[in-house]
């Protein structure tokens, strides 16, 4: 429930299972298993399958997903979204979206997938190939009977759950960032499902960069891992003979040296918008 949280420590304590342990705990604590008559053993199996489906990337890993889940949980409760904006099904979908938002991430950017004609880019017609992949691959797990924890839900509940998860995960594509932020800033206080969804999309986007609000030591570890993941892509780009993406070249300045611009143009406007609409989330402004 704390704004600052060292997910690396939880990863050690749980012997490498921070995501599945935290996910199970939050879903159980919220009473969602009882509410929807979901079998705990199936939830546990599903969460372990999701966890194992995350690639061991330096940054976009199961540990990152756990960190985003924890921050999303804190934002939802601090902003009272679970009281005024979310019913039980919406809370379950929000937790699930955070859990799977980078599922099976290859450790490469969408732009790289498109430039290299990767099968994922071909499959999704160059439109949010990563985010579409995270959704499709994670929902694929639910097609397996032994993992389908949502089986007790009615068809209408499953449809609503799926719609919300997809909308939230697709909104994490940075190419949609400024349009989503602009829409949120010009929209009235939520009066319908569309505006409520927009608020949740913004909450997940803030959670996705939540490491900016961690202690300096924890933040620097996340930043170092992100830089290494970018450098690995730069190495691939060099091997393929295609232009190396800015900040991805090991021989030059990396992302750890360019945080000021990200803070000023991406992070601060994002958290300011959310905290202005939901005063309970103002601790985000300490970034």
**Catalytic residue numbers, as ranges:** 60
The pair of structure tokens assigned to 4 is 């600052």
The pair of structure tokens assigned to 136 is 């499709």
Q: Which residue in 100, 163, 158 sits closest to 131, CA to CA? A: 100
First CA to last CA distance, the chain: 18
Give residues with Cβ within 8 angstroms of 256, minimum separation 6: 220, 223, 224, 227
Q: Which residue in 82, 65, 75 sits closest to 20, CA to CA? A: 65
Asked whether the beta carbons of 7 and 66 are under 8 A apart, the reply is: yes
In angstroms, the CA 33 to CA 138 distance is 19
Strand (E) or helix (H) holding 239: helix 216-240
In angstroms, the CA 206 to CA 280 distance is 14
Cα-Cα-Cα-Cα dihedral sign, residues 111, 115, 120, 126 = positive
What are the backbone dihedrals phi and psi of residue 275, each rounded to the nearest 5 degrees, phi first?
A: -70, -25
> Rounded to whole angstroms, what are the CA distances from 236 to 105, 116, 252?
16, 10, 16
């Amino acid at each position: 429930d704390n704004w600052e949280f060292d997910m690396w420590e939880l990863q050690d304590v749980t012997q490498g299972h921070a995501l599945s342990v935290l996910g199970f705990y939050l879903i159980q604590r919220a009473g969602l298993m009882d509410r929807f008559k979901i079998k705990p053993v199936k939830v546990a199996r599903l969460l372990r399958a999701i966890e194992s489906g995350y690639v061991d990337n330096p940054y976009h890993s199961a540990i990152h997903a756990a960190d985003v889940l924890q921050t999303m949980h804190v934002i939802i409760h601090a902003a009272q979204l679970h009281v005024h904006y979310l019913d039980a099904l919406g809370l379950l979908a929000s937790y699930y979206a955070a859990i799977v938002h980078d599922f099976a991430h290859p450790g490469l950017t969408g732009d790289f997938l498109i430039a290299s004609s990767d099968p994922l880019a071909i499959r999704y017609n160059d439109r949010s190939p990563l985010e579409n992949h995270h959704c499709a691959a994670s929902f694929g797990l639910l097609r397996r009977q032994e993992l389908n924890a949502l089986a007790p839900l009615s068809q209408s509940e499953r449809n609503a759950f799926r719609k919300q998860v997809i909308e939230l995960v697709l909104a994490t594509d940075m190419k949609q960032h400024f349009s989503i932020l602009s829409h949120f800033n010009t929209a009235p206080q939520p009066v319908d499902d569309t505006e409520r969804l927009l608020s949740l999309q913004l909450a997940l986007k803030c959670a996705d960069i939540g490491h900016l609000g961690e202690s300096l030591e924890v933040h620097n570890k996340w930043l170092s891992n992100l830089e290494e993941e970018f450098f690995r892509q730069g190495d691939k780009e060099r091997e393929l003979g295609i232009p190396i993406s800015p900040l991805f070249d090991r021989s030059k300045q990396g992302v750890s040296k360019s945080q000021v611009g990200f803070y000023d143009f991406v992070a601060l406007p994002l958290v300011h918008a959310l905290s202005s609409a939901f005063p309970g989330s103002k601790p985000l402004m300490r970034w």
